[in-house]
Structure formats: C-alpha cells, structure tokens
Amino acid sequence: MIRINSIYINGAFTAPHGTATFDLISPIDNTLQGILALGDEEDVNRAVAAAKAAFQTFSQTTVAQRIAFLQQMHDAISRRADELTNIMVQEYGGSILFCRNSTQNALNSIQTNIALLQQFEFTRKAGTATVRLEPVGVAGIITPWNASNSFICGKLSTAIAAGCTAVIKPSELSGRQTQLLLECLHEAGLPDGVFNVVNGLGNVVGAAITAHKDIAKISFTGSTITGKTIARGAVDTMKRITLELGGKSPNILLEDADLKTAIPMAIQAAYMNSGQACIAGTRLLVPASRIDEVKQLLKENMDIARVGNPAEEDTLIGPMVSQKQYERVQQYIQLGIEEGAELWIGGPGKPAHLEAGNFVKPTIFVNVTNDMRIAREEIFGPVLSVISYKDEEEAIAIANDTDYGLLAYVSSASDEHANHVAARIRAGRVLINGLKHDPMAPFGGFKQSGIGREYGVYGLEAYLEPKAILN
Ligand code: NDP
C-alpha cells in the first residue's frame, strides 16, 4: 500500500495540517493502491506565505537566471521521464502512447519557455512611455486529472519564466503522479518557496487559493462549471484569471475531403486520451451526400480504437479515470439512445473481459442532431456524435452552434478551402487535415471554453503586468 503523507512547502516535503485522506483506486481494476494525505486552508496559508516571501527575490531574477532554473527543471524531469509515464499509465489509466506524449509535452513546454525567454521583450515602447512587463505576483495553479503533470509543468514553467512564484493544487486523483513530479522538482534545486504544492479537495484547497488575497492570478484547467466558480470567487480580490475549460469540438469533413485519411483521423480525434480530452473532436460533421460512405468507413476503421490494458502499445482507449467518470459516460450513452440518436457502434456497458476496470465501449451515434444533449455537452469519454449537414453554410452554422469554442478540425482536399472555412469558425484553434500541435501557438477558448490563452507569447504575457513609465 502506497502512503503519500506529505505536501510540499518552501522547498521541503512536509506533513499537512489537514487530516483528511483520499483513497487512490486503480482505474484498471478498481483495487485500492494507496492513500493520499490532503491539505486544508491552513496549508494553503502556509504555502502562500512561502510563495509570497520567495516572490520578493524571485521577481528580481534575471532572464539568464530563470533560463538556468528552467533548464534544471527540465533536466530533473527528463531523467525520470519513463517513470513519470509509467506511473501515469498505472494511476490514471491513459494509454502508454498518450502518456509518453504527455510526459514529452511537459518537457517541451519547459523548453518552449526557455526559447521564448531568449527572445521575449520585457521592456517595450508605447508612445512616449517605456513599458515594463513585470511578474504579476504569486500564481495559483489548479489542475485536473486528465494530463496532470503536463498541465502542472506547462503552467509552472510559464510562471517561472515570468518571475512569478506558485501555489499548485493538483487533482487528488493524480496523487502518485504528483509525488513523483515533486521528487523531480525538488531535485531541480529551485529556490525555496518558488513552487509549493498542496494536495486537497477542490472545494477546500481550491476554494482557499481562489479566495486568498495574496494570490494575484489563477491559472485553471478543468470543467466550465468549476471555472465559473473560480472566476466568481477570484473577482473579490481582482485576481487575473486564465481559464482553460471544456469543449465540444466540431470536426468538419468538407465535401471534397479524402475520407480514407479523414475518417481514421476523426476516430483518433474523438478518442484521444480515451476521450477524456477537452480538445476531443466529438462532433463529426458530415455532408449528407456522403453519410453512408462515412458510416461504412467508421466501421471499417474501428480496429484503431482498441480498448484494453493501457500499458500495451496498441491500446488507444484505457479505462475512465474513476468509477464516477465511467458512470457519467454510461449516462450519456443511455441519454443518446433515449434522445433518438442511432447507436451505430458500441453502446452501454463494459467490453467483454474488461469488467474489473472502468472500461467503456468506444461508441458512435449517427443521426444526431445538434440540439441533442449528446451533441451539446462535454461527455469526456469515447463517445462520438455524427451529424449530417446539407451544405457548407449549414456545416459552419452547426460547428458554431455551441456554448464552447476551444478547438475545431477541418478536413478538405484544398488548403485554401479549409482555410476559408477555418476563418469562419469561432474557436481558439483550428486544425486542418491532421492532429497538429505547436507549443508556441496560443491555446485557449472562445466563449465558454475559457478566458485567456496559454503557451508562447500570449501565455507568458498572462503572468505579467504592464507598467508604463513616463519621463
Ligand atoms: P473539475 O473541473 O471539478 O476539476 C478540476 C480541478 O478543479 C480539480 O483539481 C478540482 O479539485 C478543482 N476544483 C473543483 N472544485 C473547485 C472549486 N470550487 N474551487 C477551486 N478548484 C476546484 O473537474 P472534474 O474532475 O470534477 O471533472 C468533471 C468534468 O469536468 C469531466 O467529466 C469533464 O467533462 C470536465 N473536465 C474538463 C477538463 C478539461 O481539460 N477541460 C479536465 C477535467 C474535467 P477536485 O479534484 O478536488 O474536485
């Protein structure tokens, strides 16, 4: 039995003041793997005090010093990359391919911030003024379970690049992953208090971070509903907020798309990270004239969507992170049936021989209309809704008819055609003919998918305050 009895404050592992604990249950077979000690408001106060004290000197560091710290962070994590990947597979149930990628994303985000610092202008001119971009203060970082360490590294490395210090609240579902990352970060030898980590419940530790007057900014990734709670709470102390929230991303297959490549990609886009991804392409928009072809190709390509032991190389879909998440996905599959969508592939229940874990059958509904809840709400599991459209105008209207606006996918034989459609989509990123990523490009949502952007220049500026000096 694994026992994680500490949190991390002011450069040291320390016992929390909080006395609550959380059971770490394997999503693969629902056995109890460990017990995590949880912090409370008092622990947040201690962590913020440490971060506030560290900010006095850390905010004055040079760019060269911060590059060196980021390099130390990168190297320490890099040395244990395989362990970080494996523990993510075991604890979270992500497929080994996804988890390897996630660890690499964590490392890339640090490298990207190093590259950015080498060219970023912290002093600029605006009219007659000199504008200094100064670190905003102590950052509160609140992260979810679906790529825990990658989110932490992305946010923390940006805070460090800016000269901010941080108090981090990871998801308690990621306790073992957090512990290993903390060992790496401890080894990296950053100054005491620059980062502090308090495991704990969202409505206790997360709420205390949101309310704390000495936290200047919150960077949050998670559900839209929690994002709204944080935004409401943050305004009392006028915190800056960056919110990366949910999505219901459209994947538009234009009339001229090559379906032989677009359909396997659509399956990957829908089921990436076992469907537990805010950027998953969960609404597949198909020209009505090609719907039969698409249905056939979806069936033919479903061997890609292999569900099973996440440690096996050819698994695409592992178990849902928790029993609760499994049940949530089951409720949506049932709802799709009740709403009158046609169940084309998959359906309720667990796949054969995978009854012990939180495994879901990869599911596809066809004849979905965009007013159905399965087309409007984030399911966060391997469930794809296929919606047909009459013409391109209707495709664009359906794509934009959503409360979300995080990402969209467009497939077309012509880049020009795809770009023309992309220009009319209300989303923070549009991926054309493939699952592409660039850590220098801004990431974030229109509408209820969030506020602000992460990554690259836009991400760094979100941790900085402009100060105009007029002589
Ligand atoms: P949440 O948004 O509730 O959790 C994300 C993080 O916020 C966790 O660390 C959580 O802590 C914390 N939190 C919860 N309540 C508060 C609060 N009042 N103040 C501050 N922090 C808080 O996501 P869930 O884990 O509950 O997942 C529910 C659904 O959210 C999923 O099914 C999915 O649809 C969506 N989701 C979206 C994600 C995305 O990347 N866009 C990521 C994760 C979930 P704690 O774990 O203790 O509750």
Name which residue sits closest to atom 18 of ligand 1, judged by CA.
203
Please give the span between the terminal C-alpha atoms of the chain, in angstroms, as a whole number: 64
Ligand 1: which atom is nearest the Cα of residue 201? 47
Which pLDDT belongs to residue 345? Answer: 98
Ligand 1 centroid vs 223 CA: distance in angstroms?
5
Ligand 1: which atom is nearest the Cα of residue 229? 18
> Which one-letter DSSP state was computed for residue 174?
G
CA distance 285 to 275: 18
**Is residue 86 packed enough to be buried (19+ CB in 10 Å), middle (13-18) or exposed (0-12)?**
middle
3-state secondary structure of 118: coil
244 included as an active-site residue? yes
CA distance 60 to 352: 59
Strand order in the sheet with 123-126: 123-126, 129-135, 464-469
223 Cβ closer than 6 Å to some ligand 1 atom:
yes
| Residue that the structure tokens 């013409």 belong to | 391
144 Cβ closer than 6 Å to some ligand 1 atom:
yes
151 Cβ closer than 6 Å to some ligand 1 atom:
no
Regions of the chain short of the pLDDT cut 70: none
Q: What is the 3-state secondary structure (H, E, C) of 58-113?
A: HCCCCHHHHHHHHHHHHHHHHHCHHHHHHHHHHHHCCCHHHHHHHHHHHHHHHHHH
Query: Sign of dihedral through CA atoms 74, 198, 310, 441?
Result: negative
Q: What are phi and psi of 49, to 5 degrees?
A: -60, -40
| Per-residue pLDDT tens digits for 317-368 | 999 999 999 999 999 999 999 999 999 999 999 999 999 999 999 999 999 9
| Per-residue pLDDT tens digits for 84-95 | 999 999 999 999
Which pLDDT belongs to residue 279? Answer: 98
**CA-CA distances (angstroms) from residue 180 to 39, 100, 158, 245, 282?**
18, 15, 20, 26, 32
Ligand 1 centroid vs 115 CA: distance in angstroms?
31
Q: How many CB atoms lie under 10 A from the CB of residue 128?
A: 8
Pocket test for ligand 1, best of 36, 102, 171 (most atoms within 8 A of CB): 171
Ligand 1 centroid vs 137 CA: distance in angstroms?
24
Where do runs of H (alpha helix) occur along 248-301?
259-271, 291-300
Which pLDDT belongs to residue 339? Answer: 98
Helix axes of 63-79 and 148-162: crossing angle, nearest 10 degrees? 160
- Which of 278, 377, 416, 465 is labelled catalytic? 278
Which value, to the nearest 10 degrees, does the dihedral of the CA atoms of residues 114, 116, 119, 123 take? -110
Here the contacts of 417-424 (C-beta below 8 Å, separation 24 or greater) are: 417/254, 417/256, 418/254, 421/252, 421/254, 421/392, 421/395, 421/396, 424/396, 424/400
3-state secondary structure of 127: coil
> Could you tell me if 448 and 246 are in contact, meaning their C-beta atoms sit under 8 angstroms apart?
yes
Q: What are phi and psi of 348, to 5 degrees?
A: -65, 165
Which pLDDT belongs to residue 163? Answer: 99
218 Cβ closer than 6 Å to some ligand 1 atom:
no
Here the contacts of 10-14 (C-beta below 8 Å, separation 24 or greater) are: 10/46, 10/50, 10/53, 10/54, 10/192, 10/193, 10/196, 11/186, 11/190, 11/191, 11/192, 11/193, 12/192, 13/182, 13/186
Ligand 1 centroid vs 221 CA: distance in angstroms?
8
378 Cβ closer than 6 Å to some ligand 1 atom:
yes
> Which one-letter DSSP state was computed for residue 349?
S
> Which one-letter DSSP state was computed for residue 454?
B
**DSSP strand pairing (123-126 vs 129-135):** antiparallel
CA distance 403 to 388: 20
Q: Pull the structure tokens for residue 429.
A: 């990123």
3-state secondary structure of 146: coil
245 Cβ closer than 6 Å to some ligand 1 atom:
yes
3-state secondary structure of 330: helix
**DSSP strand pairing (195-197 vs 217-221):** unpaired
229 Cβ closer than 6 Å to some ligand 1 atom:
yes
- Which of 244, 312, 394, 416 is labelled catalytic? 244
